[in-house]
Chain A
Amino acid sequence: DQQVKQNSPSLSVQEGRISILNCDYTNSMFDYFLWYKKYPAEGPTFLISISSIKDKNEDGRFTVFLNKSAKHLSLHIVPSQPGDSAVYFCAAPRGTGANNLFFGTGTRLTVIP
């Protein structure tokens, strides 16, 4: 049973516009979420995180929004750049005492110049 879901396998956006990547989760006990970014032939790299005590966390062009009532989070990238083209994974820690992560299946973002 997938507890972290990314229902859009791909997204294409024009350079300069906003990219919005979505993630849904089923476990209301999740209280911390992460986004990872993966380029081809490389491992995922950590991008940004959010704790459930917040509803927004911003880092430069990247902002993550959390809607706990809807069990939904989203990653906004603005303005989008061609170098942002990658696969984006959302993840949540499995338990209270460990760093083992549930990952979504990823969304492939293509930013068109």
Chain B
Amino acid sequence: ETGVTQTPRHLVMGMTNKKSLKCEQHLGHNAMYWYKQSAKKPLELMFVYNFKEQTENNSVPSRFSPECPNSSHLFLHLHTLQPEDSALYLCASSQNKGRGETQYFGPGTRLLVL
């Protein structure tokens, strides 16, 4: 497999559930990102990891917990979410975290919180 993959592609969860989103990149990149896209809103950066270290948390609520065990994998652990957290969650990677580096996106996980 090539590129950036995300699983699951669709997820429905209740507010008391715990679930995880998975992202894997096969591009040998060092930086990985989580974005959120709510309806009719722009993509919002959530987290940035560079060489497995979190370098940015864009004021994301603690009910979203990222994990980056290695440069190829990125997880987003979800717990006690709210209906307004329903959105498309996109993962991306880039060679490095440097400015102007092209980001490659996965297809996203569409999340519905009931």
Which residues of A are in contact with B by a Cβ distance under 8 Å?
2, 4, 32, 34, 36, 41-46, 49, 89, 93-106
10 closest Cβ contacts across the A-B interface?
A43-B105, A103-B43, A103-B42, A46-B102, A44-B105, A105-B42, A43-B106, A43-B107, A100-B45, A99-B101
Interface contact B100-A99, CB-CB below 8 Å: yes
Name A99's contact: one of B9, B31, B105, B107 (CB within 8 Å): B31
Given A102-B42, A103-B43, check contact A46 B104 (CB 8 Å): yes
- List residues of chain A with CB within 8 A of the CB of B55: 98
Interface contact B99-A43, CB-CB below 8 Å: no
* 17 intermolecular pairs with C-beta atoms under 8 Å apart: A34-B102, A41-B9, A43-B105, A43-B107, A43-B108, A44-B90, A45-B105, A49-B100, A93-B99, A98-B99, A99-B48, A99-B98, A99-B103, A100-B58, A102-B42, A103-B43, A105-B41
> Whole-angstrom distance between the alpha carbons of A105 and B39 in the complex?
9
> Whole-angstrom distance between the alpha carbons of A43 and B56 in the complex?
21
Please encode chain B, from 77 to 109, with 1 for each CB lying within 8 Å of some chain A CB and 0 for all others: 000000000000011101011111111111110
Which residues of B are in contact with A by a Cβ distance under 8 Å?
4, 6, 9, 31, 33, 40-45, 48, 55-56, 58, 90-92, 94, 96-108
* Sample of 11 more A-B contacts, CB < 8 Å, known A99-B97, A99-B99, A106-B42: A2-B42, A41-B107, A43-B90, A43-B91, A43-B106, A44-B105, A99-B103, A100-B45, A101-B103, A103-B43, A105-B42
Query: Main SS of the interface on chain A?
Result: loop
Given A98-B48, A100-B45, check contact A42 B107 (CB 8 Å): yes
Among B33, B45, B58, chain A packs the most CB atoms within 10 A around the CB of B45
Q: Which residue of B lies closest to A49 (CB)?
A: B100
> Whole-angstrom distance between the alpha carbons of A49 and B31 in the complex?
20
- List residues of chain A with CB within 8 A of the CB of B45: 94, 100-101
- List residues of chain A with CB within 8 A of the CB of B56: 98, 100
> Whole-angstrom distance between the alpha carbons of A106 and B37 in the complex?
11
